[in-house]
Structure 1
Amino acid sequence: MEYKDYYKILGVEKNATPKDIKKAYRKLAAKYHPDKNSGDKDAEDKFKEVNEANEVLSDPEKREKYDTLGANWQAYEQAGGDWRQYANQSQTNGGRTFYYEGDPSEFFGGNSGFSSFFDMFFGEGNQGGFANSSKRTRQGFTGNDIQAELPITLLEAYHGSKRTFELNGQKLRITIKPGSYDGQQLKIKGKGQPGVNSGNSGDLYIVLRVNHDPRFERNGNNLVTNMNIDLYTAVLGGKIKIPTITGNVNMSIPKGTQSGKTLRLKGKGMPKYNSNSYGDLLVKINVELPKSLNFEEEQLFKKLQQISTEKRNSTV
């Protein structure tokens, strides 16, 4: 079984102070946290490794045992797990005698989730020879967080809604506020994995996934929609019906509107989260040209072309 260098894992020197260890741990834990590295198995393993190193080096007693045995931990195992026997033997080499008071399994409980090296070094299999002069108070550890995705419609994101679901036989109800967005996390405290040794339960994180709506594209608090208009409306102007998320409204098309132009309907977008204001609806105009003309229409377009040509020539 491979020896784990906890100092190297945290990137600190062996004479690092508790403050140095705490600072290094927080930095690495934030870097490799599952919330920031969803689906990344390497980051998940690194996060567990960093937590394991911190659990040892941040505890003065565990750190002393680890420092004393170090890479020679296997020799300690071969001595039958008798810590005092190995410590006495190592005194000729500057070793220090160390007595742990209590049950080593209290560190992390029966199922720690740490590496086999950690479990063998600190776990129940190595309690032979440890002095049991007093019982330590059990140290609780917070359970793991749980993350789940919840698909919702754009209409739910607009109006808000409530969802009820069951987790571990318990019914939970969450509120989706107006203006909720894709990727938003809703935290339900204490509904994650149970803690160890009376530790607090982890938290449940619900990640909202807003389903695609064929009518609209969301851009922040604005909604974007595409609208086709005929050539005559583009040239002469007029009013057309525009679908919004709450129903159709009439919108004026200015004379001479070009294809590709974007018109804005203020306040017809998404509600701003935790606010009484709204984004806008952006309407992208696409001018559709006539695909077939009868004889009379073609003659009229030729007449318009002639008038336009004469007009340009007269200004030259």
Structure 2
Amino acid sequence: MSSRMTIKGFSTFIAFNSCARQALGTQSRTLCTYRSRCLQLKPVPPSKRIADKRHLHATAPCGAAAKNPYEVLGVKPDATAAEIKKTYFALARKYHPDTNPDKGARDKFVEIQDAYDVLKDEKKRAAYDQYGSASQHPNFDPNAFGAGAGGGFGGFHGFGGSFGSRASSNMGGDLFEEIFGAFAGGRGGRSRGPENVRGSDIETTLNVTFLEACKGTKKQVSYTSIVDCEPCKGSGLKDGVKRTTCSSCGGSGTRTFSLDNGFQMASTCNSCHGTGSTVPRGGECKTCAGAGKLRSKQEVMVNVPVGAEEGMTIRVPGVGDSPVSGKGAKGDLYVRLNVSPSSTFQRQGASLYYKAKIPFHRALLGGIVRVPTLDGEVDVRIPGGTQQGEEMVLKGRGVSYLQGSGRGDLFVKFNLQLPRVLTKRQRELLQAYADDVEGVSKKDTKDSKEEPLSADNDVPQKDDTTKRATG
């Protein structure tokens, strides 16, 4: 028979699955709310349809669900340790089998004792507050729901997050595979095989000069990555040794825990990382200690494109980390460029800016000025009477465009340089030029008896009117 679910029930299932994942903070958890036996629906007589309006069918509890210890003791979740202890002693005296002849007193006393065992221990209480009744399961492993689930093989924890790696995720595909797999035949809790795992990406930096970024270059990049162990070919085993069934999960690759309200939570086994098998003791490869992976220094040639800019990231596919467990595709290498500044040019996109210093006489008379470019120095003719701060544009002398053909422009700004010291002849020539411009003759200059003002004697004097007024 085909399984059926209403649209409302399907939406509820997706929402519950998403919320459960976010609350537990790991990608490897799978909410198994369906089993194949639950999906083989049979017609139910109307008289027995107690919950016709219920659209979400959860798995049946694997045994009696543990009771809420706070409710058993009758205390609030934020109760202090002293309040819990006081309440426990009061209930223990009331329901102790030696003082209470009631038949149910013994069971109630055991219930109270179990609840107090959880709440008096800070670690157990914190685990219950976070995971609910699943924390009271005999095989409960909090690491399966925390950061420990993403660790590497024994002795290689942190492989996935080292060397500036980018975590790769397949959350979207896994979620729909679990949902539709469950509807098709109860495969929602099946873990992905290690052959489908992709290695993490790696990020590193590369320093290049200003000219290398503008004109392009090839540079060697050194970095450290996770690689398969050569002696064992990534298996982690000695020659002739085979992997054994994982004792923690029985070879399933997942571990299941009961949650409140009868739900079950399945997570990737922390011992075998979902493979279902482990390396037997004494059969580990000596080089990698059974991990099958090693940290190794790598070198790769990176092509820096023409017109590269500061902060630009270059992707080199397939040279990142190998998967921490099993076989699969390597991640990518992302190289971020650090471009050193130029002492000659300023850059904005494909445009370059240069400040040229020209002497006073060249600005007046015009002439040739040498200007540096990316391709070497060029001679530029400037007109007579060039003013301070004037600009000249050299078309196509800038940086090549990253996308498309052509180059930007070079903008040359002229700054006048005035001499601080003049020879006697230079002063006479400049004075003659000044006199000619101002229309002043030598005779006029000699006949002038009025002494010019200087910075020292340039002080206004009070006139006679002022003196008489004050007198």
Does the pair score TM above 0.5? yes
Q: Which position in structure 2 is the counterpart of 1:239?
A: 368
**Counterpart among 183, 187, 193 of residue 138 in structure 1:** 193
| Structure 1 residue runs without a partner (length 5+) | 1-13, 23-48, 84-102, 115-133, 312-316
- Note the alpha carbon deviations across 1:236-271, whole angstroms, 9 max, x for none: 111111111211111011221122222211111111
- The residue number in structure 1 matching 2:411 is 282
Check the 8 A contact 1:223/1:279 in 2, yes or no: yes
Structure 1 residue aligned with 2:205, among 149, 154, 159? 149
- Counterpart in 2 of 1:220? 349
CA–CA distance in 1 between the matches of 2:28 and 2:190? Answer: 20
Deviation at 1:196, TM superposition (A): 4.3
TM-score of the pair, normalised by structure 1: 0.59
Higher relative contact order (CA 8 A, sep 6+): 2
Unaligned regions of 5+ residues in structure 2, if any? 1-10, 34-57, 60-64, 67-127, 161-188, 224-295, 441-471
CA contact (8 A) 2:26 2:145 kept: no
The match for 2:27 is: 55
Kindly indicate whether residue 210 of structure 2 is the aligned counterpart of residue 158 of structure 1.
no
For 2:140 and 2:333, how far apart are their aligned partners in 1?
42
Identity of aligned residues (%): 26
- Aligned-CA RMSD value: 4.2
Deviation of residue 165 (structure 1)? 3.8
Contact 1:108 1:196 in 2 (8 A): no
- Kindly provide the CA deviation profile for residues 195-234 of structure 1, in whole angstroms up to 9, marking residues without a partner as x: 3444543321111122222222222111222211100111
CA distance in 2, matches of 1:141, 1:206: 23
Q: How far 1:164 sits from its partner (Å)?
A: 3.0
* TM-score, length of structure 2 as denominator length: 0.41
Match of 2:138 in 1: 80
Q: For the Cα contact (< 8 Å) 1:239–1:252, is it kept in 2? A: yes
C-alpha separation between the residues in 2 aligned to 1:202 and 1:51?
Answer: 28
Question: 1:121 matched to which residue of 2?
Answer: none
Structure having the higher Rg: 2
In structure 1, what is the Cα distance between the partners aligned to 2:14 and 2:388?
A: 67
Structure 1 residue 275, shift from structure 2 partner: 3.1
Q: 1:75 to 1:21 in 2, by over 3 A?
A: closer
Kindly report which structure 2 residues correspond to 1:4-19, keeping only aligned pairs within 5 A, or say none: 17=14
AA in 2 matched with 1:73: Y
Question: 1:192 deviation in Å?
Answer: 2.3
Separation (CA, whole Å) in 2 of partners of 1:215 and 1:190: 39
One-letter identity of the residue aligned with 2:208? I
CA distance in 2, matches of 1:263, 1:159: 23
Q: State the Cα distance separating 1:307 from its structure 2 match.
A: 3.2
Quick one: distance in 2 between partners of 1:171 and 1:242? 39
After TM superposition, the structure 1 = structure 2 runs for residues 116-135 of structure 1, keeping only pairs within 5 Å, are: none
CA change 1:187–1:82 in 2 (3 A) is closer
The equivalent of 1:249 in structure 2 is 378
Deviations 1:251-304 (A, max 9, x none): 011221122222211111111114331111121211001111222322332333
SS for the counterpart of 2:438 is helix
SS at match of 1:150: strand
More helix by share: 1
Shift of 1:194: 2.6
Q: Secondary structure at the match of 1:300?
A: helix
Distance in 1 (alpha carbons) for counterparts of 2:355 and 2:17:
57
Contact 2:352-2:399 at 8 Å conserved across structures: yes
